[in-house]
Structure 1
Amino acid sequence: PFLWRISLGKAPLNAKSISTPLLSEMARYGFPLVIGNLAAWILSLSDRYVLEFFRGSQEVGIYSASYSISEPSIMLLATLFALTSGSIVYNIWEKEGEKKSQEFVSKLTKYYLLVCIPAVVGLSALAKPLINTLTGQEYHGGYKIIPLVALGAFFLGLQQRFYAGVNFYKKTHFIMFSIVASGFLNLGLNFLLIPKYGYIAAAFTTLISYAFLLFLVIIVSRRFFIWQFPVKSLAKATCASSVMGVVVYYIGNSLTS
């Protein structure tokens, strides 16, 4: 490996050994992702600072307690899909062509919907007993935002399904622009709504911003990579999860009442 050879002094590190075109290509691909990650930080954490400034640490605590229960639960599933499928879709693209990779992304999204929609609904249905069990009494009011946060995390995970074409064609600056736009929307809505509505507004603005990010990424992705979205799976998962949610809601709340 190159770094190993450098550490042993066996590989010369000078201007001639550095490929300027390669560095330029790496910068064009990676720099937008760095900026996008900074904007994602604004998108995910700015609400806490605005909430602290306008409403105080008590509401930040309520918001953070509910957020830390709901958002990581959904993002864990989304991350598993992203990590296990990322290299596979590009491998399929290179070896079997774009059409096969489109079919793979469509099938992967189907599984994402079938797994994550029930998770969002179940988490929302059990919001009150979960908060009452896992947090102190002063945080119990935060159960109201769990459905908003869980749905926002679902949108955040879903937009990752549309990255394949953008990444393959090395158009990562479009991802950066989408995240930056969503981050500024989130920041603006936070300053507009949090002073009056508190942590409820913080959860709502996060949901709106993630939905807006999903919308932008879909528009951008379709310029390079169009695949069939599993609408039937979306409808089936939503209907089945709704029925499940009603049952789980009444059972869960009856056990803790």
Structure 2
Amino acid sequence: MSGLAKRLAGQTAIYGVSSIVGRVLNFLLTPLYTGRFAPAAFGIITGLFAYMSFLNVVFTYGMETTYLRFANRPGTNRRDLYNRVLTLLLLSSFGLTALLIALAPTLMRLLGIPPGSERYAVWLTLILGLDAVAAIPFARLRLENKAVKFASIRMANIVLNVGLNLFFLVLCPDVLAGKYLSGLAPLLRPLYNPSIGVGYVFLSNLAASAFTLLLLGRELLDFRPRLQVTYLGPLWRYAYPIMLMGLAGMVNETLDRVLLARWLPEGFYPGRSSLAAVGIYGACYKLAILMSLVIQAFKYAAEPFFFAQSEDKNSPRTFALVLKWFTISCTILFVAVSVNIDLIAPRFLTSPEYLEGLPVVPVLLLANLFLGVYYNLSVWFKLTDKTYFGTYISFGGAALTIALNFALIPVLGYMGSAIATLVCYVTMAVVCWLLGERHFPVPYPMSRLLLWLLAAVAVVAGSWALPPLGSWIAHMVHLLITLAFVAAVWLVERPERAFRRTQAKAA
């Protein structure tokens, strides 16, 4: 790989410490949730976090990417830009938080959440406000290449969140039930209210978000409020397509869990309510988290990197190399998780009733892989300031998601939602590539990458089609299949061989 690509890979690895390790810690809560909550209760968590994803886009309205883009323009006063953008987010976050808290009871009724859950909406709204305020200080850390500090604060947030979950959902109820450490009961009794139940999941997130602002104290103390109306126009013109694109993206990423609860026919899964089906689907969706982690870590490092390379005449070749290794890495991950799902799943979905949704996992992994490819390809409209193309693509994907969920959920249940997600992301990636070829040509090795993707799908499909084997024999066979695929990739795409091919083409 080139030096620039290696630098991006290094920063991705640092950001990945917080994103991957932290999210893995969060993922380790899945056995806790599936063991302590019935699918219907877990469905409440899944549904509310899905709605929260939409609102998070509204609270930040594209200002993270806008800040990074404007900060890299020649002649920009970065300190002044930071003050203006953070002032906007502070004002808007305060207003939106107050509005949503006032409307919490009405909104929860409209969403079909059981009565008595209004406090969940208040806590989630406070989380949204705090996270929106933290967004620009985090973007500043990315801009200044302070990846270690960024990663440390993210990790602290997630460690605290996980710790509070364990405290309220394991330690307190077990001690008060007399299972162990009964001497602590008098201390814990005033701190724990069993009626809150799943609400402790949201309270733990709220405490972690507040702690994050404390850790960003240096960046916040360096802030000086500044608001100038004439400056809003350029910022808003760049940001609003990104916000619309983000909303459409959330439709593609999370709306399936909302629509599943509403469009699943009564009795489709015997003995299960639609909310329980959402819980099962949401739990299995978490097994696709490893692909999401890689994509998230890549996004943190890639946006500043792409913007910084925008003026380099060799940037198209660099972008092509980045996509190649990103796709190959994600393809290996897709095979490793999908082929070995029988070994992975029971360790995290501790109640057998959640395991019936496992067939959706390979489909969702592949869908997230194509989402990562789309993020790579989308560099062209961000660098050319034609972000409205991203809006068109995202809204087209959102319309496709809704239409396919409407058609497939009544027929295939949550597998229909998974297939809709895959078709949506494949379509978005293809359309983005075709448009990019016209407006910002990049020599992506598409034929080669397509062959690897097809090979990976064939390997996964073949492993799932194998006849039933003994438990340990099956694990060994699946491991050998995974290692064989990795070996094949290495033999064909050895870095030194790939580098020589690139040099020969350049000559």
**Same-fold call, TM cutoff 0.5:** yes
Structure 2, unpaired ranges of 5+: 1-78, 88-219, 265-273, 477-507
Q: Distance in 1 between matches of 2:454 and 2:411?
A: 35
User: Which residues of 2 match residues 59-74 of structure 1 at below 5 A?
Assistant: 59-70=277-288, 72-74=289-291
Match of 1:254 in 2: 474
Instruction: Say whether the 8 Å CA contact 1:63–1:199 is kept in structure 2.
Output: yes
Give the superposition deviation at 1:221: 2.0
User: Which residues of 2 match residues 23-102 of structure 1 at below 5 A?
Assistant: 23-55=232-264, 56-70=274-288, 72-94=289-311, 96-97=312-313, 100-102=314-316
Give the superposition deviation at 1:222: 2.2
1:213-255 deviation line (CA, Å, top 9, x unaligned):
1122223322321111124652674487579766898897724
Residue 47 of structure 1 aligns with an amino acid whose one-letter code is D
Match of 2:341 in 1: 127
Q: Distance in 2 between matches of 1:231 and 1:210?
A: 16
Q: Distance in 2 between matches of 1:143 and 1:157?
A: 22
1:63-107 deviation line (CA, Å, top 9, x unaligned):
11111111x21121122222223222322222x32xx11011011
1:45-74 deviation line (CA, Å, top 9, x unaligned):
22112211233122212211111111x211
User: Which residues of 2 match residues 168-183 of structure 1 at below 5 A?
Assistant: 168-183=383-398
SS across alignment from 1:93: coil
Range with bigger deviation, 228-237 or 175-184: 228-237
SS across alignment from 1:170: coil
Is 1:210 equivalent to 2:425 in the alignment? yes
Q: Distance in 1 between matches of 2:277 and 2:324?
A: 37
1:102-148 deviation line (CA, Å, top 9, x unaligned):
01101101110221001011111122332223211001111111110
Match of 1:189 in 2: 404
Change in CA separation of 1:51 and 1:19 when aligned onto 2, cut-off 3 Å: closer
Give the superposition deviation at 1:26: 1.8
Which structure has the larger Rg? 2
Change in CA separation of 1:252 and 1:215 when aligned onto 2, cut-off 3 Å: farther
Q: Distance in 2 between matches of 1:13 and 1:156?
A: 37
Residue 380 of structure 2 aligns with an amino acid whose one-letter code is G
Give the superposition deviation at 1:19: 7.3
Q: Distance in 1 between matches of 2:430 and 2:451?
A: 22
Q: Distance in 2 between matches of 1:12 and 1:118?
A: 47
SS across alignment from 1:228: coil
Give structure 1 regions of 4+ aligned residues with deviation exceeding 6 angstroms.
246-253
User: Which residues of 2 match residues 145-160 of structure 1 at below 5 A?
Assistant: 145-160=360-375
SS across alignment from 2:440: coil
Equivalent residue for 1:114, pick from 305, 322, 328: 328
Q: Which has the higher contact order (CA 8 A, sep 6+)?
A: 1
Instruction: Say whether the 8 Å CA contact 2:327–2:369 is kept in structure 1.
Output: no
Match of 2:318 in 1: 104
Give the superposition deviation at 1:155: 0.5
Q: Distance in 2 between matches of 1:12 and 1:151?
A: 44
Residue 337 of structure 2 aligns with an amino acid whose one-letter code is L
Q: TM-score normalized by structure 1?
A: 0.83
Instruction: Say whether the 8 Å CA contact 1:90–1:101 is kept in structure 2.
Output: no
State the percentage of identical aligned residues. 22
Give the superposition deviation at 1:156: 0.4
